[in-house]
Amino acid sequence: MIDPTADVHPAAILDDSVTVWGHTHIREGVHIGAKTSIGRDAYVGPDVRIGADCKIQNGAYIYEPAVVADAVFIGPRVVFTNDEYPRAVTPAGTLKSAADWIPVGVRVEYGASIGAGAVCVAPLSIGAWATVAAGAVVVKDVPAHALVAGVPASRIGWVGRSGRPLLPEDGDLVDAATGDRYRETDGILTPLGAELG
C-alpha cells in the first residue's frame, strides 16, 4: 500500500508488500524489501537499500548511501547523515554541487533498533541486534548487541535478540526472554549457541 500523497520515484524498487504512509519521499534507485513499513513524512535518499521486515517510523531521514539490513527498527525522527565535512559553499565561496563532495553512509545490520530522535553521523556501522537509545548521537561504530546512549553515544550495556538488557548469570550474560547466552571478552560479545540473523 502506497499512500496517494507519498512521492515515490518511478525508478525506486519496492516489494509489493511494502507500506508507504503519507507525505513520504522515496528517491530514485531505492530498493525496499518485503513487508517493510515506511512511516509518514519520512525521506529515503537515492540508491538507499532497505531490507525486508523493517519498520521505519514517521519523520525518519535516511540519506544515501545508507544500507539497512532486514528486521531493522528505525524510530521516529531518526536522522542518518551523509556528509563528513558539511558546507553550503566551496572554499572559493561557490555553492556546493554533487561534484564537490563524496557521500558517506550509515550501515545497519540485522535486527538492530534505533530509538526516536537519534542522529547517526556517517560514516559508521551499527551491528546486528544492537540498540541505539532515543536521542543518542552516534559518532562511531556500534558493536553487535551493544546498547548505546548519550551524546556522544557510548556503550552502557548489552542487549539480546529480545531487545532487553542481558543479565549476568554464572559468568555469562543471558537474555531472560529468549534464554540466549553470551560471553563478553575484551569488549566483544559472543553468542554461546545458534542465533538468528
Class of domain 7-159: mainly beta
Domain ranges of the chain: 7-159, 162-197
- Helix (H) / strand (E) element for 6: namely none
Reduced 3-state DSSP string for 168-195? EECCEEECCCCCCEEEEECCEEEECCCC
pLDDT value for 187: 85
Residue 141's Cα: distance from chain center in Å?
12
Per run of 10 residues, the mean pLDDT along the chain (length 197 residues) is: 96 98 98 98 98 98 98 98 95 94 97 98 97 98 97 97 94 93 90 69
* Beta carbons within 10 angstroms of residue 104's beta carbon: 18
pLDDT of residue 193: 77
Cell numbers placing 33:
524489501
Question: What single-letter amino acid sits at 141?
Answer: D
Least Cα distance to 123 among 136, 110, 145, 142 occurs for: 142
Give pTM, 2 decimals. Answer: 0.94
Conformation bin of residue 48: beta by default, left when phi > 0, alpha when psi is -120 to 50: beta
Q: How far does CA 139 lie from the centroid of its chain?
A: 13
What is the pLDDT, as a whole number, of residue 188? 87
Q: What pLDDT is recorded for position 195?
A: 64
